[in-house]
Amino acid sequence: MDEESNVVANVSLGAGIGAVVLFFIHFIVGCIPFLGILASLLFPFEIILAIVAIVCGGIGLSTANQLEEGTGKAQSIVGLVLGLGYFLFVGGLVCLGLFLGVGVVVLDSMLIFV
């Protein structure tokens, strides 16, 4: 067991996948009448996981560059992409709701707070 490991890269990957999975659970539960309020409780956890994915992805990528074999570079990149993609997608939904009006805001309110 002389292998070097990059634990931070694995944390980044797990947090990024967790943020995306929670987003889809949030969307599905938000579309069910009378259970939509439960979906709003998931939103802070999604944001925290996305931030953790971005921060740990950056740290894991720099750690992977220091390791001899570059261990964990792929996990770090995927975690970064998932974390940044989450914020771009949710930010796009908010902007779409603000620019297009009420019909989209109703759909958007099922996903996040506006």
Domain ranges of the chain: 7-111
- Residue 49: pLDDT over 90: yes
- Residue 102: pLDDT over 70: no
Between CA 88 and CA 39, with CA 37 as vertex, the angle to 5 degrees is: 40
- With contact defined as beta carbons under 8 Å apart, do 23 and 87 qualify? no
Residue 103, classified by CB atoms within 10 Å of its CB into exposed (0-12), middle (13-18) or buried (19+), is exposed
- Residue 101: pLDDT over 70: no
Supply the pLDDT for residue 12. 95
Backbone angles phi, psi at 28, to 5 degrees: -70, -45
57 pLDDT band, cuts 50/70/90, is very high
What amino acid is encoded at 92 in this protein? Answer: G
Task: Please report, rounded to a whole number, the percentage of residues in the chain having pLDDT higher than 90.
Answer: 45
pTM of the model: 0.81
Q: How many CA atoms lie within 13 A of 56 on its CB side?
A: 24
